[in-house]
C-alpha cells in the first residue's frame, strides 16, 4: 500500500476509502482543486480559532507557539510545516506538489481570514461558528486530498512512521497527543471544539472524500 493510500484512509477516520497514488495527469485541474481545498481548510481552521472554544490539536500547538514567540499563527503554521519536512528525510518520504502548497497556503490563508473575521462574544454565534469551521475544514480536506498531489507535512510524518512499521493509528494518535499537550502548556486553546473536531472530522472527510477523488486516467 502506498503512502498516499494510507494517508487518505487515516484522514478519513480509518475508513476504507482509498486515495490513489500521486499523479500528474490533468495537472491544472489537480492544482486548482488542491489550492481550493487548502483555502477552505485554512478558512475552516480560522473559524474554529475565532470561535474560541477549542481548536484541533495541531492548532493548539500553533497557537501556543505563536503566543510565546509573538508571531501570527499563520507564520507559525508555515514554519512548522517547513520544519516537519526536514523530518521526512530520515523517514524517506517524498513530497509532492500538494505537500509544498500545503506547507505554504494554509498559513497564508489563516493570516488573511483571521484579520478579517470578527470575534463574537455570544456562544449562540461561537458554537455554530466552531461547527461550521469543522465542516469547512472537512470539505477542504476532502478536496485537497482528492487532488492526488501528495500529503501535507503533518500527515506525511504520520505515514512515514507507518511505513517504518508503526501502526498509522498509533502514529497519528501519538503525534497529536504530543502536540496537544505541548500546545496546551504553551497556552493554546483546548476545549469543547478540540473534542468536537476529533469526533467529527473523520466521518465528515470519509463521507465527502469519494466525491472529490481524482483517479489517474489509466486507473479506469
142: which 3 cell numbers? 476532502
Contacts of 111 (CB under 8 A, 6+ apart): 72, 73, 74, 75
Q: Per-residue pLDDT tens for 11-64?
A: 434 444 445 456 668 899 999 999 999 999 999 999 999 999 999 999 999 999
Count Cβ neighbours within 10 Å for each residue of 8-35 and write b for 16 or more, e otherwise: bbbbbbebebbbbbbbeeeeeebbebbb
Model confidence over 84-111: pLDDT tens digits? 999 888 888 888 899 999 999 999 999 9
Q: Is the Cβ–Cβ distance between 98 and 149 less than 8 Å?
A: yes
Position 133 pLDDT exceeds 80: yes
Residue 123 and residue 126: Cα distance in Å, rounded? 5
Share of the chain above pLDDT 90, in %: 59
CA angle at residue 7 from 6 to 12, to 5 degrees? 100
User: Residue 24: which of 94, 96, 74, 119 has the closest Cα?
Assistant: 96
Cell numbers representing residue 214 in the block: 481524482
CB 24 within 8 A of CB 106: no
- CB atoms under 10 Å from CB of 122, counted, come to 7
Nearest to 141 by CA among 1, 9, 3: 9
> Quick one: angle between helices 73-91 and 153-163, nearest 10?
20
Residue corresponding to grid cell 487532488: 147
In this predicted structure, what is the pLDDT of residue 75?
Answer: 95
C-alpha dihedral, 149 to 45 to 87 to 29, nearest 10°: 10
When pLDDT is averaged across residues 135-162 and rounded to a whole number, the result is 87
Amino acid at each position: 500500500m502506498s503512502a498516499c493510500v494510507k494517508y487518505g484512509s487515516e484522514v478519513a477516520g480509518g475508513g476504507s476509502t482509498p486515495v490513489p497514488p500521486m499523479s500528474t495527469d490533468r495537472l491544472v485541474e489537480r492544482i486548482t482543486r488542491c489550492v481550493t481545498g487548502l483555502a477552505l481548510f485554512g478558512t475552516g481552521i480560522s473559524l474554529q480559532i475565532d470561535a474560541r472554544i477549542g481548536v484541533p490539536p495541531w492548532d493548539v500547538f500553533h497557537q501556543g507557539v505563536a503566543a510565546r514567540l509573538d508571531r501570527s499563527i499563520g507564520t507559525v503554521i508555515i514554519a512548522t510545516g517547513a520544519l516537519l519536512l526536514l523530518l521526512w528525510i530520515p523517514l524517506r518520504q517524498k513530497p509532492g506538489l500538494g505537500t509544498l502548497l500545503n506547507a505554504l497556503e494554509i498559513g497564508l490563508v489563516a493570516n488573511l481570514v483571521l484579520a478579517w473575521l470578527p470575534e463574537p462574544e455570544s456562544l449562540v454565534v461561537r458554537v455554530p461558528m466552531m461547527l461550521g469551521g469543522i465542516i469547512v475544514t472537512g470539505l477542504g480536506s476532502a478536496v485537497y486530498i482528492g487532488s492526488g498531489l501528495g500529503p501535507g507535512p503533518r500527515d506525511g510524518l504520520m505515514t512515514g512512521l507507518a511505513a517504518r512499521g508503526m501502526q498509522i493509528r498509533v502514529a497519528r494518535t501519538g503525534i497529536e497527543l504530543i502536540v496537544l499537550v505541548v500546545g496546551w502548556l504553551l497556552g493554546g486553546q483546548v476545549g469543547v471544539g478540540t473534542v468536537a473536531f476529533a469526533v467529527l472530522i473523520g466521518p465528515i472527510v470519509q463521507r465527502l472524500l469519494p466525491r472529490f477523488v481524482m483517479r489517474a486516467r489509466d486507473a479506469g
